[in-house]
A and B are shown apart, each in its own frame.
Chain A
């Protein structure tokens, strides 16, 4: 098992090495920027267009986190409702699955027609993509509580609320966090994909619109610059969810134990 130091150093070293290799290949081979821009050119383009790109980035971030918050609230509430009522689960789960398996690019144009505000439709699209992992994982988590602990709470006459507070919620938390890790990335994908489907229309636009716009003008370095922001945002969301997981579960969940535990 890698040491904590190695787990920090190795990924960054690999990333830097890949960038250097990329830069070297582009320069040595003399590949023109409209085919493949070098990392330094991308960084340069990013810096030159930073102000306008950051405005778009902020818009995408708002959609992503808005959708993620809705997915979290909706997924957890629905999972609790399903855990309490089997009938409700049987009735509604097929809808959740149907929404999950239908590609968002296929639904997005419809939502854009039905909903006036582009922002609202993007939010809905990103929500649809993001909420299923939260729902499904939380539901499994609520059901996976230790049966002996359930019996113990029954023996001590725990109320429904106490059962939720002392047993079900903590049991479901690791599952919820695992769902959130998936949903965080999906919310960003949903926000970007839905904006692609929406096209570059409207005044308020996110990073997808900037990528489209740059592609119409064949500004390849600018496409890469916007893409870099999307990728960095995704990585940041992943790291943030890992940090959240560590903060909430680090002390007790085996997932976070180092080698040689137990």
Chain B
């Protein structure tokens, strides 16, 4: 795999083309017979920020894993950049709900990991990692180990690691769910700023209506089980978005319509999940 030159601070123009993601009549059934997705068809435009919202167990994470190529569709096709999804099909990064850092390595070495795997030598990888940590405001904590960092700092490190490869596709699986509201709001803004610079296609799984509306250009509401698309709602709010947006009527209106769709999804799912 060729090493792509990572310069986390550079402007949108220099970025590799973000990828288009397409689901065509995708079914996913697990080995134990559980149907996770049924006839899911959706297309996500290159560079779009999309949120996946829905009750637990509706297959949101499965959608991310299918895009990443970590799972294979039982029927139908998942395409990234026009090619069938498989690990390494496009430059992709994944941010999990847990920071998922290597506890035995410093923040710097954790962030450098993707570059090291791509074959970059230790020193340039660390230089890039320091830049990426600086972009999330953690340059002064580069030598700290995960156990020495707060929850928010760990998640920032995890995001820096995800961005260091300048991914075409950024997959985020409830990354801020475990954080307190203040930290979560701050990280929302930081994520938007970084996404604005990179121009990646971002797919963000969340349980929070407000987070989905605040971050994305489009909210996909899913219902279960098996998981399928209930509503596809555009968010007609421009970028950059400021925290004061949360107080404005058009934000509240969007939240109301997404909530309505979510209630529909939940009613549809019935007693699917406790």
Contacts and interface: CB of A to CB of B under 8 A. Distances in A.
A148 B102 contact: no
Interface stretch (B27-35, B93-101, B246-254): B93-101
A170 B93 CA distance: 23
User: Which interface residue of A156, A252, A253 has the most chain B CB atoms within 10 A?
Assistant: A156
B36 interface: no
Contacts of A103: none
Interface stretch (B76-84, B114-122, B133-141, B235-243): B114-122
Contacts, number: 60
B88 A157 contact: yes
A152 B147 contact: no
B141 to A, nearest CB: 14
Size bracket of the B interface: 20 to 34
B209 interface: no
Interface string A143-162: 00010110111111110001
A166 B87 contact: no
A260 to B, nearest CB: 13
Contacts of A170: 102, 104-105
B70 A151 contact: yes
A153 B117 contact: yes
Nearest to B94: A155
A254 interface: yes
A173 B69 CA distance: 30
Given A151-B70, A152-B94, A257-B147, A157 B117 contact: yes
Interface string A248-262: 010111100100011
A155 B96 contact: no
Nearest to A249: B104
B271 interface: no
Nearest to A154: B87
Interface in B17-67: 65
Contact of A156 (B103, B105, B114): B114
A261 B130 CA distance: 26
A152 B111 CA distance: 12
Nearest to B119: A162
Contacts of A153: 117
Interface in A228-262: 249, 251-254, 257, 261-262
Contacts of B105: 170, 252
Nearest to B91: A156
B73 interface: no
A29 to B, nearest CB: 53
B205 interface: no
B262 to A, nearest CB: 27
A173 B104 contact: yes
A212 interface: no
A148 B113 CA distance: 14
B153 interface: no
Interface in A168-183: 170, 173
A176 to B, nearest CB: 13
A167 B117 contact: no
B100 A146 contact: yes
Interface string B1-20: 10000000000000000000
A146 B99 CA distance: 11
Contact of A252 (B87, B116, B145): B145
Interface in A102-125: none
A152 B100 contact: yes
Given A155-B68, A167-B102, 10 more contacts: A146-B100, A148-B96, A148-B98, A149-B100, A151-B65, A157-B88, A170-B102, A170-B105, A254-B147, A262-B147
5 contacts: A155-B69, A156-B165, A158-B117, A162-B117, A252-B146
